Chain A
Amino acid sequence: MKVLVPIKRVPDPYAKVKPLADGSGLDLSGIKFDINPFDEIAVEEAVRMKERDASVSIVAVSIGGAETEEQLRKALAMGADEAILIETTDALDPRAIAAELAALVNDLQPDVVLMGKQATDEDNNQVGQRLAAKLGWPQATFASKVSPAEGNVTVERETDDGGETLLLKTPCLITTDLRLNEPRYIALPGIIKARSKPLSKRERATSLEPQVKTLNLEAPPARAGGRKVGSVDELVDALKEMGVIA
């Protein structure tokens, strides 16, 4: 079984990223980058599938600049077999990313595409569902448990008010939620081994221009700082004064 894992390079989710003063972009000076946390979970899940079933092969792919090699190496160190960098500096929106990934899927013919539900830089939460639509594949978003079998995958997924279990015939697409697993710590042998694993580069296969363009970035208005109260009584009085409680 072949599993394709698309990953995105994003700013460290714990870093405080601010817009540039003129609103033209983000101030990324001194910010570290990492694999999008949801994609790291997808890589981890694929590796666990491989550990249970040796016939699983894992291809990690990313669309981005040359520096994205760093994140693909990390995916290889975690246990992916092969990595592909679709190298570009073009501005892309989820529609263009999905088109690019669809072209790659048609070329590689994976059984499962396993990817993050959202990239924590732009928080779009679109690419997986778009890709599944383009391919005409069934999808299970927000997966919290993935159980592959012969010709199908059972996915437990999170919903607004609980959860559900879906049965998808392969080929299919799955997006990960945080609770699917906890990615492993990468030990030194993995990092060394990753250096000799294949990482190939390709050019874009499609030429869609973005239809969603960013005009301006700004910091959200700060909430007017409040005040501290000294006791529960004071708190209850303040809430009454503000008209929040009767």
Chain B
Amino acid sequence: MSHLLLIAFDGADAIQGARFAQALDLPFDIIQLTGEAVTDLGARRVLTFGLPSLPPADFLAHALKDLVNESTHIAAVSAMRSKDVLPRLAGLLDAPMVTDVLKIVSKDTFVRPMLAGSVLATVQVSGSPILMTVRPAGFPEAVRSGSSEVVHTKPQFAGTTRRVSASAKQGGRPDLSQAGVVVSGGRPLKDADTFERLIGGLADHLGGAAGATRAAVDSGIASNELQVGQTGKVVAPNLYLACGISGSTQHMAGIKDSKVIVAINTDGDAPIFEIADLGLVMDLYEAIPQLMEKMPKA
């Protein structure tokens, strides 16, 4: 019997992952590693680990390995945390894995991006279980109904990595990969203060998240976890506002799932205008203060 195991890092992650789980249309269980169990996603069971925080990948993969025996499919939402653990679990299980599933063709055939999203590959998998990281944006929102059985599970951890310290991001902005509005800035934001004042300011005004290009991150204008693109985060907001961003292939790889893309750039020929729904050729230093005045406050 085919069966999916959805690995969710927290409740919000379970809700995102359930989009894929419901679309795959197999009976499924959820392992929810942290937080209060979400029980109305259509899973047969929700196994909760009830962890206060996540242990390092070697511990986690070891514990998960013992819980996947009847699954033919194992999925988690694409993120750095899942990309850390799932391939390790695939290695322990000596099983095939597909990264960043965008679309389901059949139970063993999926579409995924390559080359910074400039090519879509249809891949067919033999062997079982099939592990996957999935991008939820391409699947309909999860139907919320029913009530899954909750099973409190005590994971058997084993590993040697020691976490010496951890730092979480500051500020109360929504999570980039889940935000409804993302305001991003690129190289022309002079410094961290200017970025925070303009990009952060407009993001707060709109109740959204702030994002950045690699150029902005590399030059110390924005912090690491704000990078959007091939090697950063993938976002899928209703509104993506790109300010002073040229539109490299690597950056666009992270924003293509946005509903509406707005670009503000002084160079009317910048590649970002080729994919933007609305383009404004204007200096961002003039445009952003005006936007803060004229866009309704969230």
Contact = CB atoms under 8 A, between A and B. Distances in A.
Interface in A9-28: 11, 13-14, 16-19, 26
B91 A212 contact: no
Interface string B16-57: 000000000000000000000000000000000000000011
B294 A232 contact: yes
B147 interface: no
A144 interface: yes
Contacts of A26: 115, 119
Contacts of B1: none
Given A223-B275, A229-B279, A142 B80 contact: yes
Given A161-B225, A236-B294, A126 B99 contact: yes
23 contacts: A13-B250, A94-B87, A123-B114, A123-B116, A124-B99, A129-B88, A138-B161, A141-B57, A160-B177, A163-B167, A163-B225, A166-B163, A177-B231, A215-B109, A215-B122, A225-B274, A225-B275, A226-B276, A228-B273, A228-B278, A229-B280, A233-B294, A239-B262
B262 A129 contact: no
Nearest to A233: B294
B80 A158 contact: yes
Q: Which of under 10, 10 to 19, 20 to 34, or 35 or more describes the interface residues of A?
A: 35 or more
A129 B123 CA distance: 21
Nearest to A102: B91
Contact of A160 (B81, B90, B92, B119): B81
Contact of B225 (A13, A162, A224): A162
Contacts of B96: 93, 95, 211-212
Given A126-B90, A159-B80, A228 B280 contact: yes
B118 A219 contact: yes
Contacts of B280: 228-232, 235
Say whether chain A's binding surface is mostly helix, strand, loop, or mixed. mixed
B88 A133 contact: yes
Interface in B108-125: 109, 113-125
Given A166-B56, A226-B277, A239-B260, A120 B230 contact: yes
B257 to A, nearest CB: 10
A123 B164 CA distance: 30
Given A18-B119, A138-B159, A229-B278, A160 B87 contact: no
Contacts of B162: 166-168
Contacts of A17: 115, 118-119
B238 A227 contact: no
Interface string B251-265: 000001001111000
A55 to B, nearest CB: 24
A48 interface: no
B287 to A, nearest CB: 6
A231 B279 CA distance: 10
A121 to B, nearest CB: 6
A200 interface: no
B88 A226 contact: no
A57 interface: no
B210 interface: no
Contacts of A169: 160
B283 to A, nearest CB: 11
A207 interface: no
B278 A166 contact: no
B268 interface: yes
A138 B123 CA distance: 30
